[in-house]
C-alpha cells in the first residue's frame, strides 16, 4: 500500500478511493494517557467512539482501544478506570468478543455498558439470557437503589436501550440498582469490587441523565479530577512538537479545512518559521477560498506559505473526463505531483504535518471487527517515498476537540466551523460532465449564493454540509417571455454526525425560495433549481 493518511478535509485525494487503506495500520495507537485518564474498550458497539467523546466532555481524557488488547496493555497506561463498551454480539455466541482475563482484577474501577455489562454479568456468575422481545430505543428506567451511579438522580428516568440479551440476575454480591421496561436488572454495582454495569446507553442524547451517570462513575468512583480539556492541551502539544522537530524543517499541505489549518497553526506556534505551508489551488475550490487561506495564514498569522496556482494544470488534465473515479484519480495524482515539486524546491524538509484525527487513528487499527472501517475517501494520500517523518499534533483529538483547539489558538471562526469539503472539490459536483472552467465558475457562483443565504439564516453550523450540484443537463424554461435552455442547480443540504449516515435538511421554504430566486436572477445560465431530498443511505452525500 503506498498511500499515507492525510486526514479529513485535506485537499488531497487518494488515487484509488475504493482501495484506500492505511500505510501505518500497524502503527502504535497508544496515546499519552494523562494521569487522570480512562480506557474505553471497544466491543464493536455503534457508540464506542461516542462513549470516549462523552468521557472527555466530562473533563477526563479517554483512550479507545480494541477489546482484545488484554489486561497488560490496559495496565501499562495506568488509567484511573476502565469502561467496557456495548457491542452487537451475544455473550453466548462462540465468536463473541470475550472479556480478556485479568481485566476485572486490575485494581481500577470498571463500568460495563450494555454488552460490557452482560460480559461482566456472565463472567461473574450472574444470569444473562436472550429475552423474548428486544428492547430497542426509548425506554423507562426505574431506580430502586441509588448506589453511587444514580446518587441524587430521579427514581424514574428515560433511557436509550439497544439489546436483546438481558441480565436477569446480577452476579452474587452485586446490588441490582435499577430495572427497565424489559430489563429486570438494568444496572448493578459492587462497591467492594469496584465493578459497575448499566444496560442502557448513557452516551446518547436520548438518555437525559446519561452524562450524570458517567460523571458519577468518573468522579465519585474513579476519583478523576475532571479538569481535562482539548483547549488545555495546546501548550503540551507545542512542547511535544518542539521536542520532536528540534531544528528540523517542516512542511505542511494546507487545504483550508479545519484539520490541516489547526495542525498548521499549532506547529507554527511551536516552531515558527521552521514550518512552510504549501497550499495548492487546483481551481476547484469554492469562491474566494484560496484568497482566504492566503490572507489568513500568510498575511494574518505570518506563516511562511507557498501558494501554488495550479488551476490550468488541473483543468488541462481534466479535459474530456466525465467519469467520477477518473476525476478523483487525476486530481489526486496531479496534487501529489505539484506537492512534490514544491517540496523539492523547499529542499531538505524532514517533517510533514498531517491533520490526522483520533477517529482516523481508531479506524486505522484501533477499531474492532464489528465497526467496519468506513470508506476513507475523506483521506488524502501522499506516496510513502516522500520520506518524511510525520508530525500529527491532532492525533489524540476528535473533530469537535480540534475545533476547540482552533478557537483557542485564534483561528478565525469561519475556518474553525468550515463544513467538510471533498479533496477533489467542485469537480465531483459537476455531475456526468467535464469540469470545465465555465462550469466550475457557474457552480462556484451558485454555491456562493447558497452559502450566503444559509449563513444569513444562521443555519450554517447546524448543517453537516450544504452545497450545490451542477448536473450536465439543460432544461427548458421561460424567462421574460423568452424560451430558455439552461442549467439545473441542485441544492444538497444534510445533517449528520459523522457522514456515515445523513438526513436531508428541512430548510425553511422561504429560505429555499429566496435561494432559488437569487440563483435564477443572478446567474444567467441557470433556469431551474431543485432540492435533493435523499438521505444517506440510500444516497451518498456527494453526487459523484
Question: Which residues are tagged catalytic?
Answer: 114, 201, 203
Is residue 282 left, alpha or beta, with left meaning phi > 0 and alpha meaning psi from -120 to 50? alpha
Q: How far is the CB of 16 from ligand XMP (least distance, A)?
A: 11
Nearer to ligand XMP, 142 or 496 (CB): 496
Q: What is the DSSP code (8-state) at residue 374?
A: P
Q: Concatenate the DSSP letters of all residues of 377-421 into one string.
A: TT-----GGG--EEE-TTTT--HHHHHHHHHHTT--HHHHTPPP-
Peptide bond before residue 538 is cis, with ω within 30 degrees of 0: yes
Query: What span, in angstroms and rounded, lies between the C-alpha atoms of 481 and 472?
Result: 25
Q: Which residues bind ligand XMP (CB under 6 A)?
A: 13, 17, 328, 377-378, 420, 422-424, 465, 499, 536, 540-542
Cell (9 digits) for 158: 428515560
Q: Concatenate the DSSP letters of all residues of 214-282 into one string.
A: HHIIIIIIS-------SGGGHHHHHHHHHHHHTT--EEEEE-SSHHHHHHHHHHHHHHGGGEEEEEEE-
Nearer to ligand XMP, 6 or 177 (CB): 6
Q: How far is the CB of 275 from ligand XMP (least distance, A)?
A: 23
Strands 474-479 and 430-431: what pairing? unpaired
Q: Find the Cα–Cα–Cα–Cα dihedral 528, 531, 536, 542, rounded to 10°.
A: 40
Q: How far is the CB of 521 from ligand XMP (least distance, A)?
A: 28
Nearer to ligand XMP, 392 or 542 (CB): 542
Query: What span, in angstroms and rounded, lies between the C-alpha atoms of 45 and 530?
Result: 38
H/E stretch holding 444 reads helix 437-456
Query: What span, in angstroms and rounded, lies between the C-alpha atoms of 291 and 307?
Result: 10
Q: How far is the CB of 503 from ligand XMP (least distance, A)?
A: 12
Nearer to ligand XMP, 405 or 541 (CB): 541
Sign of CA dihedral 72, 74, 78, 81: negative
Q: How far is the CB of 17 from ligand XMP (least distance, A)?
A: 6
Cross-strand partners of 352: 251, 390
H/E stretch holding 141 reads strand 127-143
> CB neighbours of 504 closer than 8 A, spacing ≥ 6?
492, 493, 494, 531, 532, 533, 534, 535
Query: What span, in angstroms and rounded, lies between the C-alpha atoms of 314 and 282?
Result: 6
Q: How far is the CB of 342 from ligand XMP (least distance, A)?
A: 20
* Helices 509-522 & 437-456 angle (0-180, nearest 10): 150
Q: Concatenate the DSSP letters of all residues of 156-197 into one string.
A: EEEEEEEEEEEEEEPPTTPEEEEEESS-S-SEEEETTTTEEE
Nearer to ligand XMP, 14 or 183 (CB): 14
Cross-strand partners of 158: 140
Query: What span, in angstroms and rounded, lies between the C-alpha atoms of 533 and 494?
Result: 9
Nearer to ligand XMP, 125 or 433 (CB): 433
Q: How far is the CB of 237 from ligand XMP (least distance, A)?
A: 24
Nearer to ligand XMP, 320 or 537 (CB): 537
Q: How far is the CB of 421 from ligand XMP (least distance, A)?
A: 7
Nearer to ligand XMP, 118 or 466 (CB): 466
Nearer to ligand XMP, 215 or 328 (CB): 328
Q: How far is the CB of 401 from ligand XMP (least distance, A)?
A: 19
CA 488 to chain centre: 32
Amino acid at each position: 500500500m503506498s498511500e499515507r493518511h492525510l486526514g479529513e478535509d485535506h485537499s488531497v485525494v487518494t488515487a484509488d478511493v475504493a482501495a484506500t487503506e492505511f500505510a501505518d495500520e500497524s502503527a502504535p495507537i497508544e496515546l499519552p494517557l494523562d494521569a487522570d485518564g480512562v480506557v474505553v474498550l471497544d466491543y464493536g458497539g455503534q457508540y464506542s467512539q461516542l462513549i470516549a467523546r462523552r468521557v472527555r466532555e466530562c473533563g477526563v481524557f479517554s483512550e479507545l482501544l480494541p477489546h482484545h488488547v488484554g489486561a497488560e496493555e490496559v495496565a501499562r497506561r495506568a488509567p484511573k478506570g476502565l469502561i467496557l463498551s456495548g457491542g452487537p454480539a451475544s455473550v453466548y455466541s462462540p465468536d463473541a468478543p470475550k472479556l480478556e482475563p485479568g481485566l476485572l482484577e486490575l485494581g481500577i474501577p470498571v463500568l460495563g455498558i450494555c454488552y460490557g455489562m452482560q460480559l461482566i454479568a456472565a463472567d461473574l456468575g450472574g444470569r444473562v439470557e436472550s429475552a423474548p422481545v428486544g428492547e430497542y430505543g426509548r425506554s423507562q428506567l426505574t431506580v430502586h437503589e441509588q448506589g453511587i451511579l444514580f446518587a441524587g438522580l430521579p427514581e424514574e428516568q428515560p433511557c436509550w436501550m439497544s439489546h436483546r440479551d438481558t441480565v436477569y440476575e446480577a452476579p452474587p454480591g452485586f446490588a441490582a440498582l435499577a430495572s427497565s421496561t424489559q430489563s429486570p436488572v438494568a444496572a448493578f454495582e459492587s462497591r467492594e469490587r469496584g465493578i459497575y454495569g448499566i444496560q442502557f446507553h448513557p452516551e446518547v442524547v436520548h438518555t437525559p441523565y446519561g452524562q450524570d451517570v458517567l460523571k458519577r462513575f468518573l468522579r465519585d468512583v474513579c476519583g478523576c479530577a475532571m479538569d481535562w480539556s482539548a483547549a488545555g492541551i495546546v501548550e503540551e502539544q507545542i512542547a511535544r512538537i518542539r521536542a520532536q522537530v528540534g531544528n528540523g524543517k517542516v512542511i505542511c499541505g494546507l487545504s483550508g479545512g479545519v484539520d490541516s489549518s489547526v495542525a498548521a497553526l499549532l506547529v507554527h506556534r511551536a516552531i515558527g518559521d521552521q514550518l512552510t505551508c504549501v497550499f495548492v489551488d487546483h481551481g476547484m475550490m469554492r469562491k474566494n477560498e484560496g484568497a482566504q487561506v492566503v490572507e489568513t495564514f500568510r498575511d494574518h498569522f505570518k506563516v511562511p506559505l507557498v501558494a501554488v496556482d495550479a488551476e490550468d494544470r488541473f483543468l488541462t488534465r481534466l479535459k474530456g473526463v466525465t467519469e467520477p473515479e477518473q476525476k478523483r484519480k487525476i486530481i489526486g495524482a496531479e496534487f501529489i505531483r505539484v506537492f512534490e515539486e514544491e517540496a523539492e524546491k523547499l529542499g531538505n524538509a524532514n517533517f510533514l504535518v498531517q491533520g490526522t484525527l483520533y477517529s482516523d487513528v481508531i479506524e486505522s487499527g484501533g477499531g474492532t471487527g464489528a465497526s467496519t472501517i468506513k470508506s476513507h475517501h475523506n483521506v488524502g494520500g501522499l506516496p510513502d517515498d516522500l520520506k518524511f517523518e510525520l508530525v500529527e499534533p491532532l492525533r489524540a483529538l476528535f473533530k469537535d476537540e480540534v475545533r476547540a483547539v482552533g478557537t483557542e489558538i485564534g483561528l478565525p471562526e469561519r475556518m474553525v466551523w468550515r463544513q467538510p469539503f471533498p479533496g477533489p472539490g467542485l469537480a465531483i459536483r459537476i455531475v456526468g460532465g467535464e469540469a470545465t472552467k465555465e462550469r466550475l465558475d457557474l457552480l462556484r457562483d451558485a454555491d456562493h449564493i447558497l452559502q450566503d443565504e444559509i449563513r444569513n439564516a444562521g443555519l450554517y453550523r447546524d448543517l453537516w454540509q450544504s452545497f450545490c450540484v451542477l448536473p450536465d443537463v439543460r432544461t427548458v424554461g421561460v424567462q421574460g417571455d423568452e424560451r430558455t435552455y439552461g442549467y439545473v442547480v441542485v441544492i444538497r443540504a444534510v445533517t449528520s454526525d459523522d457522514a456515515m449516515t445523513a438526513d436531508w435538511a428541512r430548510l425553511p421554504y422561504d429560505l429555499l425560495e429566496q435561494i432559488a430566486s437569487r440563483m435564477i436572477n443572478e446567474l444567467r445560465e441557470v433556469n431551474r433549481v431543485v432540492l435533493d431530498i435523499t438521505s444517506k443511505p440510500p444516497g451518498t452525500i456527494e453526487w459523484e
